[in-house]
Structure 1
Amino acid sequence: MIMQPQLPTYDRSRLTPGIVHIGLGNFHRAHMAVYLDDLFAKGLCHDWAILGAGVREGDARMRAALKAQDCLSTVIELDPKGKSARRIGSMIDFLPVEADNAALIAAMARPEIRIVSLTVTEGGYFIDPATGRFDPRAPEIAHDGANPDRPGTAFGAIVAALKARRAAGVQPFTVMSCDNLPGNGAVTRAAVVGTARLSDPALAGWIETQVAFPNGMVDRITPATGPREREMARAFGLDDPVPVTCEPFRQWVLEDDFPAGRPAFEQAGVTLTPHVHAFEMMKIRILNGGHATIAYPGGLMDIEFVHEAMAHPLIRGFLDRVEREEIIPYVPPVPDTDISDYYKLIVERFSNPEVADTERRLCLDGSNRQPKFIIPSIRDALAAGGRIEGLALVSALWCRYCQGMTDSGAAIAPNDPNWDYLQAQARAANEIPRVWLQMKPIYGDLVEDPRFVAAFTRALEALRAQGTAAVLREYIGRGAP
């Protein structure tokens, strides 16, 4: 028997747009779009529908797929007790994807658009890895500085739309990042203002003082879409080429800084608080740091799925000890949250077999993720004189993974934008471990810390001599210092 999806219960023809969202990947369609769908189903905020947009080649393919199904998205929740599917109707159109972003700029300039939101990935903010700041010299940004009326990036398009609104006397929209990176609002402000400064310093100053960029913390595990996910959609009678699967859990914590107005997010379960950074640090250290902790041992031990890694006693034991002794002790208190209970929830989420998230996905883009998710915990533990052996082992496991071969001898396909460089560094570290830590954009001055260098060196040499399983077993069995 074909299971039936839940369809929108509101009249989509009566929705009007209030948001332009750039980046219609899986996460947005399983997160922000779902929160708005919930609001619309309650009869609220029908003037806050989404206009989808994109600035990359892949966005044109997504536009074609979604326009063919009236901009409806299929979201399948992977609850171990039983899957359920929803057709999310909160997006009512997808703007043409153009090289000069003319349609996007025109839409953002419309007075009824009061929020422009983004999911352009953690690596899409043009951050200089050496400084951790926005890089105006990035080729795409430099192009937009020289061609402000024909920008190619999301940030250049936002600048052009804000310029048009200022000229027309229209209040600026709020710019809301929904990407998973620390201080996402501040990072987005730096990108928009920095791009504007290249062509119009006065406009940049106006944006800096007049445009709101609220920080937010977002969370929902959304695996990539493939044949398995499309078959799930067919089980619900839906021939959807781009369905989204996700865990039942979702969370959104947001600063309430929307001068032009906002939907009643709190009515859909969003936490509005000035303490976003506390929630954000908890999530990034415990969840994202936890993902990094289980990723590379699983990859080296030829484990395909995250729930299988969690069922492996060595990987689960490694995660538990690193979290409880080296990560959680340095996470500050979070309002109305028991951090121990939060970690238990993380373990439960990682262990969900229905999600079928892959270890390879967790291993992706370590050069961008390690500095955000692991290195800050190392620094805090060192400053407190605490234990760092497990976190040093996480770094050594990443180095060993980047050598390009699992413990069984299977080849690891490139899995980082900087794979060739990382592989060369990792292989050189076989002879001189310190070489790996000399990557300053990732480790900064940690290469000068004797405790960390010694712990990393021991871990990497042990992995080479004994293999992943034996090193994990030794670490788990080692007594407290």
Structure 2
Amino acid sequence: MSRLSSKTLADLPADVIRPGYDRARVKAGVVHLGIGAFHRAHQAVIFDDALNAGDLRWGIIAASLRSPSVHDQMVPQDGLYTMLVRDGGSEQARVIGAVQAVIVAPQDPQALVAALASPDTHIVTLTITEKGYKLDPATGALIEDDPQLAADLVSLDTPRTAPGYLVAALARRRAAGLAPFTAISCDNLPHNGTRLRNAVLALAGRHDVTLADWIAERGAFPQTMIDRIVPATTPQDIAALTARLGVEDQAMVKTEPFIQWVIEDIFCGPRPDFGAGVQITAAVAPWEEAKLRLLNGAHSGIAYLGGLAAIDHVHEVLALPEARIFVEALWDEAETTLSPPPELDVAAYRRELMARFDNPTLRHRTRQIAMDGSQKLPQRLLATIAARLNAGQGIDALTLAVAGWVRWQAGQDDLGQPHVVDDPLAAPIAATLGTATTTQQRVAAILAFDAVVPPALDDSAQFRDALTRWLTILENDGARAALASFRPD
């Protein structure tokens, strides 16, 4: 079977949307670190829109910081891939042409540094997940005993980490008399721009204080909030698309119609005339907080409780009336902690979220959402719980979601089927919980695990009691029983 490529593009069915620009004339004004499915369904689409609008400065050089798998999927296809937008019974196929090249950073680190240092590069975007910033989630300091970061602290001749690549390239830009690029974190982290800036400045300062000062003065690290549900692609998806297109696309992505990118109005160089789906604003934090505590907080609760109940997909979890009651109650609790911007109608946003979760064609897997929970829980659930406790409010639904995460660490669901706890702190969490023989001891152990749980919550009798109660039900009776017993305040 032939692959999707520049040669086969013209042979696709007439209803497939194709790039409306000459790819040979495109300049790569963007470098993206962490080219996974989310980038291909989100930021790459936004820059593809800019190219289609006639501004040919916004092609993308993408880099994988770990595996060559995406490179191997995309390079034989000349960087082309199909985005399927699914909504109920409808499906629209669009070929995205913005990606000009894919670099496997560990195989050729200097190629990535050169791309970042290029005069054509104006914007760098990152989807490297929370663990890619090499910052301690509790303190915000560099994790100096991380082997990759430790190497970058010694030398940046061959960088190993995202901050290392950025610092090496910014040093080269300064030496060449070029301005810095605008570096935009697109990961679900509170104050993600500040975190990226802190990581870059801390590492730069360890090598050259004057470089750190130059970056601090002239660089730009806007806060952002991104939103689009992008389930993992399956072999069945690829086979079905092959039958539809007549060519094979190993790099395809599937997603929903909704797309949102809120960017703080801080740039240090050119930017596209962003179109639909992008909002430039003076204050991202209220948008970011609403997404983290409503969409992402509910997603985590659904993932752990649904996964424990051996339910594969989000829409299948929400087919349970008791699960819908739980999600609405979690939103009720989280909503009181928000300071939404005037443009955000929270009630309408909640209705829209539920409709997105209900979309059966996305088939968003609970196990996909459950990954990296130790990096996600602090901002998605624990910060919300802390805010509710400070206000003297109840935390029952939020705590049930946290109890689901604790129970998930056992590595098997309620039917006794094993699962991998895919998390950078899985081993130390397992060691922490492994010495506990009772539910109360497991709660005490996890609350003392300060790499995830802030000390204020460890000291809260209300949180401790609620977590013990829910974890007891989950361990004895399972997630379905816990949801069935849940009663909103």
Aligned in 2, Cα 1:161/1:416: closer, same or farther, shift over 3 Å?
closer
What are the residue-to-residue correspondences of 1:185-200 with 2, within 5 Å? Answer: 185-200=193-208
Deviation for aligned residue 1:426: 4.2
For residue 367 of structure 1, what is the aligned residue in structure 2? 374
> Deviation digits for residues 390-444 of structure 1, max 9, x if unmatched?
2222222222222223222222333323334334444525352322211112112
**1:222, 1:245 within 8 Å by CA — same for their partners in 2?**
yes
Q: CA separation in 1, counterparts of 2:145 and 2:424? A: 19
What are the residue-to-residue correspondences of 1:82-161 with 2, within 5 Å? Answer: 82-95=90-103, 97-99=105-107, 101-161=109-169
**2:399, 2:467 within 8 Å by CA — same for their partners in 1?**
yes
Residue of structure 2 aligned with 1:258, choices 260, 264, 267: 267
For residue 436 of structure 1, what is the aligned residue in structure 2? 446
Establish whether residue 400 from structure 1 lines up as the match of residue 407 from structure 2. Answer: yes
Deviation for aligned residue 1:42: 2.2
Deviation for aligned residue 1:465: 3.5
CA RMSD of aligned residues (A): 1.9
Structure 1 unaligned residues grouped into runs of 5+: none
Deviation for aligned residue 1:360: 1.1
Q: CA separation in 1, counterparts of 2:33 and 2:403? A: 37
Sequence identity, in percent? 39
Deviation for aligned residue 1:327: 0.8
Deviation for aligned residue 1:96: 5.8
Q: CA separation in 2, counterparts of 1:153 and 1:406? A: 34
> Deviation digits for residues 36-57 of structure 1, max 9, x if unmatched?
11222222x212211222332x
Question: Letter of the aligned partner of 1:149 in structure 2?
Answer: D
Structure 2 unaligned residues grouped into runs of 5+: 1-11
User: How many residues of Structure 1 are paired with residues of Structure 2 in the alignment?
Assistant: 473
**1:4, 1:237 within 8 Å by CA — same for their partners in 2?**
no
Question: Letter of the aligned partner of 1:468 in structure 2?
Answer: A
Deviation for aligned residue 1:81: 3.2
> Deviation digits for residues 439-464 of structure 1, max 9, x if unmatched?
11211211111111111112222333
**1:39, 1:268 within 8 Å by CA — same for their partners in 2?**
no
Residue of structure 1 aligned with 2:254, choices 245, 248, 265: 245
Question: Letter of the aligned partner of 2:422 in structure 1?
Answer: N
Question: Letter of the aligned partner of 1:346 in structure 2?
Answer: L
Q: CA separation in 1, counterparts of 2:367 and 2:69? A: 24
> Deviation digits for residues 22-79 of structure 1, max 9, x if unmatched?
2211111111111111222222x212211222332x1x33223212111112111111
**1:223, 1:245 within 8 Å by CA — same for their partners in 2?**
yes
For residue 361 of structure 2, what is the aligned residue in structure 1? 354
Question: Letter of the aligned partner of 1:91 in structure 2?
Answer: V
Establish whether residue 28 from structure 1 lines up as the match of residue 39 from structure 2. Answer: yes
**1:30, 1:222 within 8 Å by CA — same for their partners in 2?**
yes
> Deviation digits for residues 5-38 of structure 1, max 9, x if unmatched?
2111111122112111122111111111111112
Q: CA separation in 2, counterparts of 1:462 and 1:65? A: 45
Aligned with 1:78: secondary structure?
strand
Q: CA separation in 2, counterparts of 1:322 and 1:157? A: 39
Using the TM superposition, name which of 333-342 and 395-404 deviates more: 395-404
> Deviation digits for residues 98-125 of structure 1, max 9, x if unmatched?
5461111122222121112211122211
Deviation for aligned residue 1:271: 0.3
Q: CA separation in 2, counterparts of 1:403 and 1:61? A: 30
What are the residue-to-residue correspondences of 1:25-104 with 2, within 5 Å? Answer: 25-43=36-54, 45-56=55-66, 58=67, 60-95=68-103, 97-99=105-107, 101-104=109-112
Deviation for aligned residue 1:137: 4.2
Establish whether residue 474 from structure 1 lines up as the match of residue 485 from structure 2. Answer: yes
Residue of structure 2 aligned with 1:410, choices 414, 417, 420: 417
**2:30, 2:125 within 8 Å by CA — same for their partners in 1?**
yes
For residue 376 of structure 1, what is the aligned residue in structure 2? 383
Question: Letter of the aligned partner of 1:134 in structure 2?
Answer: L
Aligned in 2, Cα 1:461/1:383: closer, same or farther, shift over 3 Å?
same
**1:36, 1:268 within 8 Å by CA — same for their partners in 2?**
no
Residue of structure 2 aligned with 1:15, choices 16, 26, 48: 26
**2:132, 2:161 within 8 Å by CA — same for their partners in 1?**
no
Q: CA separation in 2, counterparts of 1:14 and 1:215? A: 31
Using the TM superposition, name which of 395-404 and 416-425 deviates more: 416-425
Aligned with 1:68: secondary structure?
helix
For residue 301 of structure 2, what is the aligned residue in structure 1? 293
Question: Letter of the aligned partner of 1:40 in structure 2?
Answer: L
TM-score by length of 2: 0.92
Residue of structure 2 aligned with 1:388, choices 386, 395, 403: 395
**1:20, 1:115 within 8 Å by CA — same for their partners in 2?**
yes
Q: CA separation in 2, counterparts of 1:10 and 1:2? A: 19
Question: Letter of the aligned partner of 1:443 in structure 2?
Answer: V
Deviation for aligned residue 1:159: 1.2
Q: CA separation in 2, counterparts of 1:31 and 1:229? A: 19
> Deviation digits for residues 134-155 of structure 1, max 9, x if unmatched?
3344321221121122212222
Q: CA separation in 2, counterparts of 1:435 and 1:177? A: 33
Residue of structure 1 aligned with 2:315, choices 304, 307, 316: 307
Q: CA separation in 2, counterparts of 1:306 and 1:3? A: 33
Using the TM superposition, name which of 402-411 and 342-351 deviates more: 402-411
What are the residue-to-residue correspondences of 1:455-470 with 2, within 5 Å? Answer: 455-470=466-481
